[in-house]
Structure 1
Amino acid sequence: MKIIFTFLFLFLLLQSCEKSKDNEGLPTPPALELQSEILAQSLQHPWEIVYGPDEMIWLTERSGKISRLNPNNGVVSLLHTIPEVNSIGEGGLLGMVLHPNFESNPYVYVVYDYGSGNNYQGKVVRFSYKNSTLSDPKILLDHIPAAANHNGSRLLITADEKLLITTGDAGVPSNAQQNNSLSGKILRINLDGSIPADNPFPGNAVWSTGHRNAQGLALTNDKLYSSEHGPDTDDEINLIRKGMNYGWPDVTGFCNTSQEKVFCTSKAIVEPLYTWTPTIAPSGLIYYHHDLIPQWKNSLLVVALKGTSMLQLKLDDTGTRIESVKSYFQGEFGRLRAICQSPDGKVYLATSNGNRDMVIRVSPL
């Protein structure tokens, strides 16, 4: 049964740390009336939600389950359980994306962790969908270092049909700077698992380096953004560019200490668009540009685990600067892991509390 809550939000500007100098002076946005509806509340650690072309919400749970949620009646139907999945700590079945031409290419792409001990690792697998069944798994990329945390694992397919994969440093920070390691990167492969000829490093899946634990990816027409966990400071929103270095572990946040400035100059480090200290653990990320909620047009929407909120980051016309930040649902639903949007402009959130986790629909009042 749907539980409907109505909220009138007076949004406060998030506090910024002194290190995040570019965050200063952002305006406080106006109030907005929203309605939230709990569609399902019987999940356990959902990690990804995708609004499918069948008007169902496809979701993964860390234990290995892939399901579909009917947004009209809240019924969750299990599609498939991947027996190889081993959920250790924050590892398990994580990101998922559907082929953009799903009717003619009914493929479901997932990334999950398997094995144990020193052989704990991740892989990207493509399944075929037919008659409410997933079958014919095809491994596209394997042997991604995994750990109990810092696994990244957000998937996204670009307009030119390339698959992007975020990976964390898997507890070995130095690997984020090594191009021969899949850790701490954003990777780019073809939809058949081969390496695109125009990748920045020939024969290498690496698209960008120097990431600690990027758990969100979002695309506009020509720009790619990520959300990334910092250590005890400096969670980040980054504008991702081909072949560029984002600094971890030698740089956290902006290049503003003497040691960081030297490294940033020598490695041409790209600084973040925005940072948070205290950290909020940003996870799922989308770009919103729909008339249903005009106040959110040309914005990044990011959900936070530690921060227990959804945040709107309003972009300027160039998409290279964040003009304002708003916080929604602070503490209302606990830890938020995933976010997606339906074609009619409604936004869906998934919690990650581990007990009776929820999928929530957000729309104007």
Structure 2
Amino acid sequence: MKKWTIFAAIFCVALFITCKKNSDDTGSGTQPDATLTDAVLTQNLSFPWEILWGPDNKLWITERGGKISRVDPATGVATPVFTLSDVVSQGEGGLLGMVLHPDFSTIPEVFVAYNYNKAGVYTKKIVKFTYNGTTLVNPVVLLDNIPASTTHNGTRLAISPDKKLFVTSGDASVSSRAQDKTNSAGKIQRINLDGSIPADNPVAGSTLWSYGHRNPQGLVFVGDRLYSSEHGNTTDDEVNIIQKDRNFGWPNVEGFCNTTTEQTFCAANNVAEPIFAWTPTIAPSGIDFYSHNSIPQWKNSLLLAVLKDQELLQLKLNTAGDKVEVINTFYKNTYGRMRDLAISPIGDVYIITSNGSNDKIIKVSVK
């Protein structure tokens, strides 16, 4: 009897030591939280709208007035690349989304979305340029005639793993457009990188991918899953998983299908509900996915730049990636309105502000 007791005790101690070792090992188990530091990298910007990490190890940014620049992440020095002469910045409009070709080192193409006046009508178009090492050349219009407005432009771009270009468009201040499948406002559109329409889009000959959107300003692929952040009206800002040919409800549904009228509409119109919604609204903008070990407490999280509530949010996802388990707030009221963010290959995070006066790039890294 005593031998079994001694054996059990030794076994338990050995098991504890093994488990403790595994939990402390940075290669497995739960890592301790990293201590973060934040600092201004670049300032004197004017309404920056897009920031992304380029394959050339530079930060690429757009400013609403029409300027595209590359920023050295070590020094913060911004080098102008190109200024689009036909951009018209009105209200929240102007030069907005940008994305680089996934094979940029061999196919140096830059895709941008911006507003301009077309025969006196405020309009949005998507244009592809080639980067020659110094500036942008050879513009090719991929999409045009997208309704624009001083508000609700959406206009975030993302390229999928199978190299399709996705474009968000708000309702351009006319809510009924979002449910009209023949109107490109209030939609997420999908095209090939040459501007042609994929054969497997939901409607033959149409760029439409999903509809019923009010003002989606964040877009990121995590594998082949597409997440979007979207501005609500007076309630229900949303984070959505975008699905082919699904209706996201606006203006008939705000947030979840949780009223009798909404439930009836949702059942009849193939409505997809958000994975999270905020009431009161916070004004969510750019979104990205954190998958690095550098900041272990942020791993497997969406990071969301927030305008009205002036903060960075960490949305910790469940293992399946279809639910938000925990939300943590960072830098609230520290830098003002936050528009977008980018993540470097080593896990540093770069945030752009949208205050309109001395806007900045903020670098967040491990202390």
TM surpasses 0.5: yes
TM superposition score normalised by structure 2: 0.90
The alpha carbon displacement at 1:257 in A equals 1.0
Deviation at 1:87, TM superposition (A): 0.1
- The structural deviation recorded for 1:118 is 6.1
The equivalent residue for 2:15 is none
Which residue of structure 2 aligns with residue 236 of structure 1? 238
Structure 2 unmatched runs, 5+: 1-31
Amino acid at match of 1:100: P
Equivalent residue pairs, number: 336
Matched, 1:260 2:262: yes
User: Normalization by structure 1: what TM-score?
Assistant: 0.90
Question: Matched residues in 2 for 1:202 and 1:312: separation?
Answer: 38
Q: How many Å separate the matches in 1 of 2:119 and 2:42?
A: 34
Distance 1:339 1:131 in 2: 24
**Structure 1 segments unaligned to the other structure (5+ residues):** 1-29
Quote the residue 1:69 is aligned against. Answer: 71
Give the CA RMSD over aligned residues: 1.2
Structure 2 matches for 1:51-130, cutoff 5 A?
A: 51-115=53-117, 119-130=121-132
1:357 aligns with: 359
- CA drift of 1:253 comes to 0.7
Which residue does the alignment assign to 2:209?
207
Q: Which of these two proteins has the greater Rg computed from alpha carbons?
A: 2
AA aligned to 1:188 is R
Distance 1:203 1:222 in 2: 23
Q: Please give the alpha-carbon distance, in whole angstroms, between the structure 1 residues aligned to 2:141 and 2:192.
A: 12
**SS of 1:83 mapped into structure 2:** coil
Amino acid at match of 1:278: P
Q: In the alignment, what sits opposite 2:225?
A: 223
Partner amino acid for 1:195? I
1:174 aligns with 2:176: yes
Q: Report the secondary structure of 2:155's partner residue.
A: coil
2:25 maps to what in 1?
none
> 2:96, 2:192 → 1: CA distance?
20
- The one-letter code sitting in structure 2 at the alignment partner of 1:347 is V
Where do 4+ consecutive residues of structure 1 move more than 3 Å?
none
In the TM superposition, what are the counterparts of 1:1-365 in structure 2 within 5 Å?
Answer: 33-115=35-117, 119-365=121-367
More contact order relative to length (CA 8 Å, sep ≥ 6): 1
Look up the SS of the partner of 1:176 in the other structure. helix
More helix by share: 2
Counterpart-to-counterpart distance in 1, 2:119 and 2:218: 27
* Whole-angstrom distance in 2 between the partners of 1:363 and 1:169: 37
Counterparts of 2:146 and 2:352, CA distance in 1: 26
Residue 278 of structure 1, CA deviation: 1.2
In 1, are the aligned partners of 2:33 and 2:297 still within 8 Å (CA)?
no
